[in-house]
Amino acid sequence: MVKYRSHAFLNRFILTPLAYYIVRMFFLTVRIKSINEEILIHHLENGGKAVVALWHQRFFPLIGYAKKFRIYKPSAIISLSNDGELMTQVAVRLGVHPIRGSSSRGGIGALFAMVKDLAKNPLSIHSVDGPRGPKGVVKTGLIKIAQLSQAAIFPVYIAVDHAWIFNSWDHFLIPKPFSRVIIRFDHPILVPRKMDKGKFEDVRLEVEERLTRGHADGDRSLGWEYPL
Protein backbone atom coordinates (compact mmCIF):
# COMPACT_ATOMS: atom_id res chain seq x y z
CA MET A 1 0.00 0.00 0.00
CA VAL A 2 2.82 2.41 0.90
CA LYS A 3 4.64 1.52 -2.32
CA TYR A 4 1.47 2.17 -4.35
CA ARG A 5 0.90 5.53 -2.69
CA SER A 6 4.52 6.54 -3.30
CA HIS A 7 4.21 5.61 -6.97
CA ALA A 8 0.93 7.52 -7.30
CA PHE A 9 2.44 10.58 -5.59
CA LEU A 10 5.48 10.46 -7.91
CA ASN A 11 3.25 10.24 -10.99
CA ARG A 12 0.78 12.92 -9.99
CA PHE A 13 3.00 15.59 -8.48
CA ILE A 14 6.39 15.11 -10.15
CA LEU A 15 6.37 13.06 -13.38
CA THR A 16 3.06 14.35 -14.76
CA PRO A 17 3.80 18.09 -14.37
CA LEU A 18 7.33 17.52 -15.68
CA ALA A 19 6.12 15.59 -18.74
CA TYR A 20 3.39 18.14 -19.41
CA TYR A 21 5.72 21.14 -19.38
CA ILE A 22 8.34 19.31 -21.43
CA VAL A 23 5.68 18.57 -24.07
CA ARG A 24 4.42 22.18 -24.01
CA MET A 25 7.95 23.58 -24.35
CA PHE A 26 8.79 21.10 -27.10
CA PHE A 27 5.83 22.12 -29.24
CA LEU A 28 6.81 25.77 -28.97
CA THR A 29 9.71 24.83 -31.26
CA VAL A 30 7.55 23.02 -33.84
CA ARG A 31 5.69 24.80 -36.65
CA ILE A 32 2.26 23.23 -37.15
CA LYS A 33 0.15 24.01 -40.20
CA SER A 34 -3.41 22.70 -40.48
CA ILE A 35 -5.28 22.17 -43.74
CA ASN A 36 -9.07 21.82 -44.05
CA GLU A 37 -9.71 21.91 -40.30
CA GLU A 38 -12.79 24.01 -41.06
CA ILE A 39 -14.46 20.83 -42.39
CA LEU A 40 -14.33 19.26 -38.93
CA ILE A 41 -15.19 22.48 -37.09
CA HIS A 42 -18.22 23.10 -39.33
CA HIS A 43 -19.42 19.55 -38.68
CA LEU A 44 -19.09 19.94 -34.91
CA GLU A 45 -20.61 23.42 -34.79
CA ASN A 46 -23.67 22.11 -36.63
CA GLY A 47 -24.34 19.43 -34.05
CA GLY A 48 -22.43 16.56 -35.65
CA LYS A 49 -20.31 13.99 -33.85
CA ALA A 50 -16.87 12.98 -35.10
CA VAL A 51 -14.17 10.36 -34.63
CA VAL A 52 -10.76 11.60 -35.78
CA ALA A 53 -8.93 8.59 -37.28
CA LEU A 54 -5.13 8.42 -37.58
CA TRP A 55 -2.27 5.94 -37.51
CA HIS A 56 -0.78 5.16 -34.10
CA GLN A 57 2.61 6.10 -35.57
CA ARG A 58 1.52 9.72 -36.04
CA PHE A 59 -0.47 10.60 -32.92
CA PHE A 60 2.35 12.45 -31.09
CA PRO A 61 2.37 15.47 -33.46
CA LEU A 62 -1.38 15.82 -32.84
CA ILE A 63 -0.70 16.47 -29.14
CA GLY A 64 0.63 19.93 -29.92
CA TYR A 65 -2.58 20.72 -31.79
CA ALA A 66 -5.24 19.06 -29.61
CA LYS A 67 -5.67 22.07 -27.31
CA LYS A 68 -7.40 23.88 -30.19
CA PHE A 69 -10.30 21.41 -29.86
CA ARG A 70 -10.48 21.19 -26.08
CA ILE A 71 -13.82 23.07 -26.07
CA TYR A 72 -15.35 19.92 -27.61
CA LYS A 73 -13.98 17.75 -24.74
CA PRO A 74 -12.37 15.13 -27.00
CA SER A 75 -11.90 11.59 -25.71
CA ALA A 76 -9.13 9.11 -26.51
CA ILE A 77 -8.42 5.50 -25.55
CA ILE A 78 -5.19 5.17 -23.55
CA SER A 79 -3.47 1.92 -22.61
CA LEU A 80 -3.97 0.30 -19.19
CA SER A 81 -0.19 -0.07 -18.82
CA ASN A 82 1.90 1.83 -16.27
CA ASP A 83 3.09 4.16 -19.03
CA GLY A 84 -0.55 4.72 -19.88
CA GLU A 85 -1.18 6.10 -16.39
CA LEU A 86 1.34 8.88 -16.97
CA MET A 87 -0.10 9.54 -20.43
CA THR A 88 -3.57 9.73 -18.87
CA GLN A 89 -2.57 12.48 -16.47
CA VAL A 90 -0.84 14.46 -19.22
CA ALA A 91 -3.87 14.01 -21.51
CA VAL A 92 -6.16 15.49 -18.85
CA ARG A 93 -3.94 18.58 -18.64
CA LEU A 94 -4.14 18.93 -22.42
CA GLY A 95 -7.94 18.88 -22.34
CA VAL A 96 -8.40 15.29 -23.56
CA HIS A 97 -10.73 12.92 -21.68
CA PRO A 98 -8.88 9.59 -21.30
CA ILE A 99 -10.66 6.26 -21.67
CA ARG A 100 -8.54 3.42 -20.33
CA GLY A 101 -8.24 0.25 -22.37
CA SER A 102 -6.90 -1.22 -25.60
CA SER A 103 -7.56 -3.94 -28.12
CA SER A 104 -5.63 -6.36 -25.93
CA ARG A 105 -6.71 -5.25 -22.43
CA GLY A 106 -10.14 -3.86 -21.60
CA GLY A 107 -10.92 -3.41 -25.28
CA ILE A 108 -14.68 -4.03 -25.31
CA GLY A 109 -15.19 -1.89 -22.22
CA ALA A 110 -13.14 0.95 -23.69
CA LEU A 111 -15.09 0.78 -26.96
CA PHE A 112 -18.45 1.13 -25.23
CA ALA A 113 -17.05 3.80 -22.89
CA MET A 114 -16.10 5.86 -25.96
CA VAL A 115 -19.56 5.38 -27.45
CA LYS A 116 -21.06 6.52 -24.14
CA ASP A 117 -18.76 9.55 -24.08
CA LEU A 118 -19.80 10.48 -27.63
CA ALA A 119 -23.40 10.59 -26.43
CA LYS A 120 -22.39 13.55 -24.23
CA ASN A 121 -19.46 15.10 -26.10
CA PRO A 122 -19.08 15.42 -29.87
CA LEU A 123 -15.45 14.46 -30.52
CA SER A 124 -13.09 11.53 -30.05
CA ILE A 125 -9.59 10.69 -31.30
CA HIS A 126 -8.74 7.13 -32.29
CA SER A 127 -5.43 5.57 -33.37
CA VAL A 128 -6.88 2.97 -35.68
CA ASP A 129 -4.06 0.38 -35.75
CA GLY A 130 -2.91 0.69 -32.13
CA PRO A 131 -1.69 -0.22 -29.66
CA ARG A 132 0.22 -3.21 -31.11
CA GLY A 133 -0.64 -3.37 -34.78
CA PRO A 134 -0.44 -4.76 -37.33
CA LYS A 135 0.88 -1.47 -38.68
CA GLY A 136 -1.29 0.26 -41.25
CA VAL A 137 -4.34 -1.96 -40.74
CA VAL A 138 -7.57 -0.31 -39.55
CA LYS A 139 -9.11 -2.39 -36.77
CA THR A 140 -12.82 -3.00 -36.57
CA GLY A 141 -13.22 -1.06 -33.31
CA LEU A 142 -13.20 2.27 -35.15
CA ILE A 143 -16.08 1.26 -37.41
CA LYS A 144 -18.07 -0.16 -34.50
CA ILE A 145 -17.62 3.08 -32.49
CA ALA A 146 -18.82 5.16 -35.43
CA GLN A 147 -21.73 2.81 -36.14
CA LEU A 148 -23.02 2.77 -32.55
CA SER A 149 -22.49 6.48 -31.87
CA GLN A 150 -23.45 7.67 -35.36
CA ALA A 151 -20.30 9.81 -35.39
CA ALA A 152 -18.71 10.56 -38.75
CA ILE A 153 -15.14 9.31 -39.30
CA PHE A 154 -12.66 12.06 -40.19
CA PRO A 155 -9.37 10.66 -41.57
CA VAL A 156 -6.44 12.89 -40.58
CA TYR A 157 -3.05 12.83 -42.31
CA ILE A 158 0.06 14.05 -40.49
CA ALA A 159 3.37 14.70 -42.24
CA VAL A 160 6.66 15.96 -40.78
CA ASP A 161 9.69 17.26 -42.65
CA HIS A 162 12.26 16.20 -39.99
CA ALA A 163 11.57 13.47 -37.44
CA TRP A 164 12.98 10.78 -35.21
CA ILE A 165 11.63 7.37 -36.21
CA PHE A 166 11.79 4.71 -33.50
CA ASN A 167 12.40 1.00 -33.91
CA SER A 168 8.96 0.07 -32.60
CA TRP A 169 6.26 -2.06 -34.24
CA ASP A 170 4.81 1.02 -35.96
CA HIS A 171 8.05 3.03 -36.40
CA PHE A 172 6.69 5.65 -34.01
CA LEU A 173 7.40 9.18 -35.19
CA ILE A 174 8.34 12.29 -33.17
CA PRO A 175 9.06 15.61 -34.90
CA LYS A 176 12.48 17.09 -34.31
CA PRO A 177 12.71 20.58 -32.79
CA PHE A 178 12.12 23.35 -35.34
CA SER A 179 10.55 20.90 -37.78
CA ARG A 180 7.42 21.56 -39.84
CA VAL A 181 4.27 19.53 -39.25
CA ILE A 182 1.33 19.46 -41.66
CA ILE A 183 -2.01 18.17 -40.35
CA ARG A 184 -4.60 17.65 -43.08
CA PHE A 185 -8.26 16.84 -42.42
CA ASP A 186 -10.18 14.86 -45.02
CA HIS A 187 -13.90 14.86 -45.75
CA PRO A 188 -15.95 12.67 -43.41
CA ILE A 189 -16.99 9.08 -43.94
CA LEU A 190 -20.58 8.46 -42.82
CA VAL A 191 -21.26 5.05 -41.29
CA PRO A 192 -24.76 3.53 -41.58
CA ARG A 193 -26.39 2.35 -38.37
CA LYS A 194 -27.31 -0.96 -40.01
CA MET A 195 -24.72 -2.83 -42.10
CA ASP A 196 -24.11 -6.40 -43.17
CA LYS A 197 -20.59 -7.86 -42.97
CA GLY A 198 -19.79 -6.86 -46.54
CA LYS A 199 -20.73 -3.21 -46.06
CA PHE A 200 -18.87 -3.11 -42.72
CA GLU A 201 -15.71 -4.32 -44.46
CA ASP A 202 -16.19 -1.82 -47.29
CA VAL A 203 -16.22 1.05 -44.78
CA ARG A 204 -13.16 -0.32 -42.98
CA LEU A 205 -11.25 -0.61 -46.25
CA GLU A 206 -12.24 2.91 -47.30
CA VAL A 207 -10.77 4.36 -44.09
CA GLU A 208 -7.63 2.25 -44.51
CA GLU A 209 -7.16 3.23 -48.16
CA ARG A 210 -7.69 6.92 -47.45
CA LEU A 211 -5.19 6.90 -44.57
CA THR A 212 -2.61 5.07 -46.69
CA ARG A 213 -3.05 7.36 -49.70
CA GLY A 214 -3.25 10.57 -47.65
CA HIS A 215 -0.10 9.85 -45.68
CA ALA A 216 1.76 8.77 -48.81
CA ASP A 217 0.91 12.09 -50.49
CA GLY A 218 1.87 14.09 -47.41
CA ASP A 219 5.17 12.29 -46.87
CA ARG A 220 6.24 12.61 -50.51
CA SER A 221 5.47 16.32 -50.48
CA LEU A 222 8.05 16.69 -47.70
CA GLY A 223 10.68 14.43 -49.24
CA TRP A 224 9.93 11.11 -47.52
CA GLU A 225 9.09 7.78 -49.10
CA TYR A 226 5.96 6.17 -47.63
CA PRO A 227 5.65 3.99 -45.59
CA LEU A 228 8.16 5.18 -43.02
pLDDT of residue 12: 62
Both ends of the chain: CA-CA distance in Å? 44
pLDDT at 3 over 60: no
- pLDDT confidence of 72, banded at 50, 70, 90? very high
Q: Which range among 2-16, 56-70, 209-223 shows the weakest confidence by mean pLDDT?
A: 2-16
Torsion sign, CA atoms 75, 157, 62, 137: positive
**CA nearest neighbour of 125 among 149, 98, 105:** 98
In the chain the domains, ranked by start, together with CATH numbers, are 2-221 (3.40.1130.10)
Residue-wise pLDDT for 163-200, tens only, equals: 999 999 999 999 999 999 999 999 999 999 999 999 99
Reference 23, options 100, 84, 73, 87; nearest CA is 87
Please state, rounded to an integer, the average pLDDT across all residues of the chain. Answer: 89
Position 2 confidence tier, pLDDT thresholds 50, 70, 90:
very low
